[in-house]
Structure 1
Amino acid sequence: MNDIVKSNTYKSHRVSVAPMMDWTDRHCRYFHRLMSQRAMLYTEMVTAPAIVHGPKPRLLDFSAAEHPVALQLGGSDPDELAAAVRIARPWGYDEINLNCGCPSDRVQSGCFGAVLMKDPALVAACVTRMQAEADVPVTVKCRIGVDDQNEEEILPAFIETLAEAGITHFIIHARKAWLQGLSPKENREIPPLNYPLVHRMKAQFPELTICLNGGVADLASAEALLTPGADRVALDGVMIGRAAYHDPGAALLGADRLWGGDPQPAQQPDRQDIVHRMLPYIEAHLAEGGRLHQITRHMLGLFHGLPGARGWRRVLSEKASRDGANGDTVLEALAQLG
């Protein structure tokens, strides 16, 4: 682990990349790490039963280059969650996060994710058991509320209950989740954002680490949320979701400056540098029997909004899944940038 990661500076989680199902796999995280040494990266949500009963290396393996990286767990059974944390310990994650925000039908049927906002006592029991098995911080990612809950009442009560159970770090998606009537995609877009409420939570619980997720499109937006204003306190961190996937350059290139202080980040690579730095990783993956598109699907948005971006996406979309596609295919795509 590099010196920046070993220092305490990253622990403020000033910028992190949200856990996103089918997106933030190990290849995506490696790619994102090349753009920021300091941002906290999160795995896709892994359910506790899957870790307890499933193929552990396939679910938990990651590259040491990804640090700092957090494992996000889904579940609502304290015993299963504790067992999952115990099993994952040898892998050396920097944080264990409990998902209390996902609104999909699958997590509702399993009684976890956003539905847990309705039962803070159960969440407290879960995190108590998780912390007993963890050798790293246990954190919680939640919504501001669900369905017809009054978020002005439910959110502070939820935070207070979990703080009493020992949780000191909350990542708050600043929207309600509607468990009935909205799809997961609609739940990321339709419920209105309530940033002022999250700022008030930081003011009400100054001793806790409060980070905001939801609607953050670029580093300028993140920096604004990290800066105090006349009517708000500064938040401790900002978690960037879909923007980090669809336009990773705007979301992550230059992010390390938001930590300030020493040590200063190394000279920032540009987008083309990132592509060339991905090539050894790509060749190693191919040598192990992997396919090019498994990596390059995460790279399609790297040149978003720049001249040649359409050609870059077209070459990778059409050719990366073909037999024999390799690093030369990536260089062919890069040549579209001129």
Structure 2
Amino acid sequence: MQIHQHAKLSVAPMMDWTDRHCRHLHRLLSRHALLYTEMVTAPALVRGGAVHLLDHGQAEHPVALQLGGSDPAELARAARLGTEAGYDEINLNVGCPSDRVQSGTFGAVLMKSPELVAECCEAMRAATSLPVTVKCRIGVDDQDPATVLPQFIARIAAAGVTRLTIHARMAWLAGLSPKENRDIPPLDYPLVHEMKARFPALHLSVNGGIGSLDEVEAHLSAGMDGVMIGRAAYHAPAQILCAADRVIFGAQTSDSTPEDAARAMMEYAEAHLAGGGRLNQITRHMLGLFAGRPGARAWRRMLSEGAHLPGAGPELIETALGRLEEAQAGAESVCAHAANPV
């Protein structure tokens, strides 16, 4: 399967969340969904020499590196570093609205500078043989999305970019925090769908507020090439990813289970601890693994309270899993009694 086919369903790049431990967990749940790194800034790689930010495991593939920056030459060098590190795609962030990103003149503020974005993309494409993609908003501040977005897409396409992910919200750079920018600006899915109709040759994915596989299927049925899920894939990963290979990609395989993933993460955690890591660096990404299931609260509590303690090891995951299974058995017993009262 080629990289653009994996983009039929992807997990969004999310700062402080989609690190390599999170991506390892997500890959255990879905073999096919495209995963993204947290945004890595080009200055950190090129000027700061922070190449450790490119660390990832072979098990994570297919995985894309998202870069932040606005200097074409610097982004080109960062793209080359990402290529050498073994990533499958290089993505340019034109959507993050944080103050830190704005002060660096990249992220969502670049929606105001399509010519500069195009120049950055051209430089990156010249520096790597990997696909160079863009993740953007529908507009920022007082821009008219219906006017700005097609102009932006046309300019980026002219620079040779063939795949974009569009977060279907405006970004308000003044007056809203990054968190508020994820919720308050209204979603405009019809505009994103219209962009697919206007640019049929491009591979366009929609992002923003999508929380179930049913919604993913609805967007795909409406003509979108791909769907990117963010917070829902983090807070309830099993609900999004366990059936994704079968439902979205048509795989003739059994769905994955969060129980199997939890057990596999024990072995992964053991290796991480042997290398000097801490258990909570891994388990913090596992808290939502059983969201909506009996025992989920006990699972979260045990991992949250125990993983940071000195000497905490993979056996904590095993203990928490045992408690969860006990809670599930108890819930099933109650249901059976209710269905067949004495």
TM-score for both structures, normalised by structure 1: 0.94
Name the structure 2 match of 1:313.
Answer: 300
Contact kept, 8 Å, 1:13 with 1:238, in 2: the verdict is yes
Gap change, CA 1:10 and 1:171, over 3 Å in 2: closer
Which residue in the other structure is 2:277 paired with?
Answer: 290
Q: Which residue number corresponds to residue 116 of structure 1? A: 110
Give 1:244's aligned residue: 233
Q: What is the letter of the counterpart of residue 219 of structure 2? A: L
2:3–2:88 CA contact under 8 A, matched in 1: no
Q: Which residue number in structure 1 is paired with residue 286 of structure 2?
A: 299
Of the three residues 149, 154, 157, the one matched with 2:148 is 154
Given residue 251 of structure 1, which amino acid in structure 2 is its aligned partner?
I
Report if aligned partners of 1:296, 1:316 keep a CA contact under 8 Å in 2: yes
Question: Percentage identity across aligned positions?
Answer: 61
The aligned residue for residue 67 of structure 1 is: 61
The answer as to whether partners of 1:29 and 1:66 remain within 8 angstroms in 2 is yes
2:217 to 209, 215, 223: 223
Shift of 1:265: 4.6
Alpha-carbon contact 1:14-1:258 (below 8 Å) kept = no
- Name the count of aligned residue pairs: 325
Work out the CA distance in 2 between the residues paired with 1:206 and 1:258: 24
Query: 1:9, 1:259 within 8 Å by CA — same for their partners in 2?
Result: no
Q: Which segments of 5 or more consecutive residues in structure 1 lack a partner in the other structure?
A: 1-6, 229-233
Match of 1:72, SS state, is strand
CA contact (8 A) 1:12 1:236 kept: no
Offset at residue 268 of structure 1 (A):
1.9
Amino acid in the other structure paired with 1:241: G
Give the equivalent residue in structure 1 for 2:81. Answer: 87
- Tell me the CA shift for residue 260 of structure 1: 4.1
Residue identity opposite 1:288 in structure 2: G
Q: Is the 8 A contact 1:271 1:302 kept in 2?
A: yes
Match of 1:213 among 188, 207, 210: 207
Is contact 1:52-1:80 (8 Å) kept?
yes
The answer (yes or no) to whether the contact 1:247–1:302 under 8 Å persists in 2 is yes
Letter of the aligned partner of 1:127 in structure 2? C
Residue 279 of structure 1: how far off its partner (Å): 1.3
Q: What secondary structure sits across from 1:41 in the alignment?
A: strand
Secondary structure of the corresponding residue to residue 316 of structure 1: helix
Contact 2:246 2:253 in 1 (8 A): no
**Structure 1 runs (4+) greater than 3 angstroms displaced:** 258-261
Q: How does 1:27-38 map to 2 (within 5 A)?
A: 27-38=21-32
Could you tell me whether the CA contact under 8 Å between 1:172 and 1:211 is conserved in 2? yes
Structure possessing the higher radius of gyration over alpha carbons: 2
2: distance between equivalents of 1:235 and 1:130?
26
